[in-house]
Structures are given as structure tokens and as C-alpha cells.
């Protein structure tokens, strides 16, 4: 009994720390989950006209914040291309704090998975969406509500295990 209490406390701490090790401190949970996509109205890349948050409604979409200067974006790019091509996912690109000419060149070189590319030149949409490091990808349902946020590069595992089921549920 005398030694049982410290051992129990140690066991409790071990469980707590083991759980803590699995969490990535770089992934800050977004307070925007379950809320409508923040408002914006910005110009498009490579075409006339603008795009607003209202245009995101009506079907599930992925909103991917990227930039030509972002290294993680090159890592996830093949995955996004595959999703757009093979799974026919609608991905809207948000060109975050980037020069339109650089983005055009980058997309020409790597290929574009995006239906539309929105120019967030000043990063104002990024601020409203709580973006703190590109790439970040938001999953929106048909009502334009954010249901999930992928922080860091999109991976096939994240798509398969988390995002695909959400998109399928959101389409109903």
C-alpha cells in the first residue's frame, strides 16, 4: 500500500505523456470548424472576375491555401493533382501572399489541380481563415460550412481516412 500510491501516480503520468507525445503541437485546432467559411471577395488568377465565399456553396469543395514560394505545397502537389484527376474532387486554390506571375509560372511547371485560383495577394483571406502556415486545406460541405482543416501538406492517408468520408457525407 505504501508504494502503491506513487506507482499509480507514475502510471497516470506515463499515460498522460504518452498521449501527449502523439499530439503534434504544430497543429493548432481551428476554432472555425463547424462555422461558415469566412467572407471574402477576391480576384481570380488567369481569368476575369472575382470569387466570393458565396460561390463556395452548393457542393462539397476543398479550399487549399498555397503559394509558389511554399515548399510544403510542392510536397502535397502530386496528391492534389491525383485527387482532382482520379477522384474528381473540386479544389479551389487560394494563392496566399504570392505574385500572380509567380503563381502562373509555378502552376504551368507543376500542373494545376484547381478549378479556380483566387488571389489572396495581401493575405487578408488567410488572416480571416486563421491560416498560419501554407499549405492548409479546408473541407467545406454543401452549405459552405467548414467541416475539417488539414494543416500542412495533404497526404493520401489524410484523404482516405479523414477527408474522403467527410466529403462523401457532405455530398448527401
Q: Which of residues 3-22 bind other proteins (CB under 8 A)?
A: 5-6, 9
120, 97 in Cβ contact below 8 A? yes
For other proteins, give the closer residue by CB, 70 or 84: 70
Does position 99 bind other proteins by CB under 8 A?
A: no
Binding to other proteins (CB under 8 A) within 144-163 occurs at none
What the block records as the C-alpha cell of 81 is 493533382
- Minimum distance from residue 14 beta carbon to other proteins (Å): 15
**Residue choice 121, 128, 144, 145 for contact with other proteins (CB under 8 A):** 128
- 3-class secondary structure per residue, the chain: CCCHHHHHHHHHHHHHHHHHHHCCCCCCCCCCCCCECCCCEEEECCCCCEEEHHHHCCCCEEEEEECCCCHHHHHHHHHHHHHHHHCCCCEEEEEECCCHHHHHHHHHHHCCCCCEEEEECCCHHHHHCCCCCCCEEEEECCCCEEEEEEECCCCHHHHHHHHHHHHHHHHC
- What is the nearest approach in angstroms of other proteins to the Cβ of residue 139? 18
| Closest distance to other proteins from the beta carbon of 130 (Å) | 4
Select from 15, 28, 54, 101 the one that contacts other proteins (CB under 8 A).
Answer: 28
Per rule CB under 8 A, is residue 30 in the interface with other proteins? Answer: yes
Task: Evaluate whether 127 touches 56 at the Cβ level (below 8 Å).
Answer: no
Residues that bind other proteins (rule: CB under 8 A) add up to a total of: 20
Q: Which of 78, 130, 144, 152 binds other proteins (CB under 8 A)?
A: 130
The single residue among 36, 123, 144, 152 that binds other proteins, judged by CB under 8 A, is: 123
The residues binding other proteins (CB under 8 A) are 2, 5-6, 9, 25-26, 28-32, 38, 97, 123, 127-130, 132-133
Amino acid at each position: 500500500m505504501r508504494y502503491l500510491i506513487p506507482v499509480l501516480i507514475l502510471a497516470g503520468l506515463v499515460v498522460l505523456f504518452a498521449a501527449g507525445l502523439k499530439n503534434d503541437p504544430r497543429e493548432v485546432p481551428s476554432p472555425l470548424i463547424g462555422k461558415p467559411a469566412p467572407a471574402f471577395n477576391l480576384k481570380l488568377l488567369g481569368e476575369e472576375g472575382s470569387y466570393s465565399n458565396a460561390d463556395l456553396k452548393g457542393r462539397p469543395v476543398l479550399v487549399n491555401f498555397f503559394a509558389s514560394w511554399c515548399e510544403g505545397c510542392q510536397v502535397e502537389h502530386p496528391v492534389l493533382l491525383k485527387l482532382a484527376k482520379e477522384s474528381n474532387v473540386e479544389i479551389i486554390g487560394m494563392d496566399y501572399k504570392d505574385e500572380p506571375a509567380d503563381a502562373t509560372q509555378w502552376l504551368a511547371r507543376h500542373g494545376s489541380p484547381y478549378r479556380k485560383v483566387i488571389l489572396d495577394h495581401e493575405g487578408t483571406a488567410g488572416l480571416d481563415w486563421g491560416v498560419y502556415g501554407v499549405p492548409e486545406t479546408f473541407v467545406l460541405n454543401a452549405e459552405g460550412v467548414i467541416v475539417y482543416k488539414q494543416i500542412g501538406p495533404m497526404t493520401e492517408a489524410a484523404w482516405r481516412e479523414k477527408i474522403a468520408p467527410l466529403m462523401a457525407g457532405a455530398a448527401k
